[in-house]
Amino acid sequence: MKLTVWTYEGPPHVGAMRVATGMTGLHYVLHAPQGDTYADLLFTMIERRNHRPPVTYTTFQARDLGSDTANLFKSACQDAYDRFQPQALIVGASCTAELIQDDPGGMAETMDLPIPVIPLDLPSYQRKENYGADETFFQIVRALAKKVDRSAQISCNLLGPTALGFRHRDDITELTSVLSDMGISVNVVAPMTASPSDIARMGAAHFNVLMYPETGEAAARWLERELDQPFTKTVPIGVGATRDFVTEVAAITGVAPYLDDSRLRLPWYSKSVDSTYLTGKRVFVFGDGTHVRAAARIARDEMGFEVVGLGCYNREMARDIRRLAKDFGFEALITDDYLEVERAIEALQPEMILGTQMERHIGKRLGIPCAVVSAPVHVQDFPARYSPQMGIEGANVIFDTWVHPLVMGLEEHLLHMFRDDFEFHDAAGPSHHGGHTPAPSADAGTAPLPSRDISEDPKSPGGADVIWLDAAERELKKIPFFVRGKARRNTEVFAAQRGVHEISVDTLYEAKAHYAR
């Protein structure tokens, strides 16, 4: 554990919150100090939920540590049961409360509550949020799922969606539709939307669909071993993966494979002249392992991009992502340090980033377009509209999400290219006014305002000692914005090493030739 401005994953008890908040009829009693009570902020603000998360805290303070914190926990458990009447309780400790070793599970067991009480042992100082969600769901399934008769119709359980997941709500709808077209019904979706009584009837399904390995694989493996339910290994994100998923489901169930791809819009654009603008774009991919693996395949095989780097922040997926990166011909970046990710992006200078909310911030700073493909995300990535990632409609959504930043990037580059044109300079006014552009006011003056170059870096080497001549500055602005910052820095280093204090057009091209060798 370390202190940082940004973290890709919270502590494991946040993962347990994601499971509890996604479910119904389940309550989470968390032994935690006052400072750890931030679940409301996470779920009601970011995910726009219309109800508070089902979490009760002991909220002990420093003065309580000298007395009996165990009784504080028992009182919180009893109050939670009396007030919410849940079908089951999960109990655990936050990272701070773990240090006082009160054993919430043991204490809850002595209370003889008339409902199942499931203790969570989540090592806060070794593991993180996705592990916490995976382990919590596994413990719930192990405690409540049991063998029952199989359903008359071929059915499956959908495993892995949680609260705060990236488009999980809409993925459930899309995947249910894909399976329904094959004549397969969904028995239980869990943990999201499920109640403890739903978990108890998971055994009625013939197989399981593992939607998100980060949060559902431990449960899927237990169900396969104990209830004889095989599970799918393909995550249906992207056209190719969706077709592979349908083939895999057909092999497990013996039903005929069927996929209605009449709604797919990707081939329509691929046949257009405009699509050639996308071919060969250099992209960097970073996020959780599941979405990175899917995005890399889509980028290379369906969009015609060149993947120049990829990685993930959840170390549980490191082996798969390293193997994937090897297939692409480079080494994967496995880290939870956003500064390390930023350095990698800055060095590679991709034309687009596919990442998380953090990479969106990095892209803004570096002037590189970014599409969000993975959690962690902020409120704008929980849209009101139907916006899945899985299935055919998910492929359409992904295509739009990825293309729009590139198109806007092209528009920005064109504006920079023509910034000195008589029609487009800053003092020209909106182009739709034509020849009737309002004259600037006397207070504002008549001189054009200087345009700000978003690629300028105040910390660029040599910036204090080197002067750019006007002609060189104009020539520099012809370079696409997404590599202009690197060109500026390289030129300044080149000039400083040679004792050149004024950068001319010739210096700019000499530096370009030098670094091209």
Contact 192, 159 (CB under 8 A): no
Residue 95 near residue 1 (C-beta atoms within 8 A): yes
Beta bridge mates, 309: 284
* Neighbouring C-beta atoms of residue 383, cutoff 10 Å: 12
266-273 CB contacts, 8 Å cutoff, 24+ apart: 266/239, 266/302, 266/395, 266/396, 266/399, 269/399, 269/403
Q: What are phi and psi of 125, to 5 degrees?
A: -100, 0
Hey, what are 391's tokens? 């299935």
Contacts with 517 (C-beta within 8 Å, 6 or more apart), sequence order: none
Q: Of residues 82, 112, 149, 274, which has the active-site annotation?
A: 274
Q: Element (H or E) spanning 157, and its range? A: strand 155-159
Q: Is 36 annotated as a binding residue?
A: yes
409 is known to lie in a ligand binding site: yes
3-state secondary structure 292-337: HHHHHHHHHHHCCCEEEEEEECCHHHHHHHHHHHHHHCCCCEECCC
C-alpha–C-alpha distance, residues 173 and 242, integer Å: 14
Instruction: Let me know the angle formed at the C-alpha of 123 by 120 and 126, rounded to the nearest 5 degrees.
Output: 155
Q: CA-to-CA distance for 197 and 143, rounded, in angstroms? A: 12
SS3 sequence of 37-84? CCHHHHHHHHCCCCCCCCEEECCECHHHHHCCHHHHHHHHHHHHHHHH
Residues in CB range of 148: below 8 A, 6 or more apart: 200, 201, 203, 204
Contact 154, 185 (CB under 8 A): yes
Active site residue 288: no
Q: Phi and psi for 208 in degrees, rounded to 5? A: -120, 145
Q: Which of 223, 175, 233, 221 is nearest to 202 (CA)?
A: 223
Reported for 476-483, long-range contacts at CB under 8 A and 24+ positions apart, including other chains, are: 476/508, 477/416, 477/417, 477/419, 477/453, 478/417, 480/413, 481/367, 481/409, 481/412, 481/413, 481/416, 481/454, 481/455, 482/349, 482/350, 482/351, 482/366, 482/367, 482/368, 482/369, 482/409, 482/413, 483/349
- Active site amino acids: 274
Query: Which residues are known binding-site members for substrate?
Result: 409-410
Residues annotated within the binding site are 36, 409-410
Binding site for [4Fe-4S] cluster, by residue number, is 36
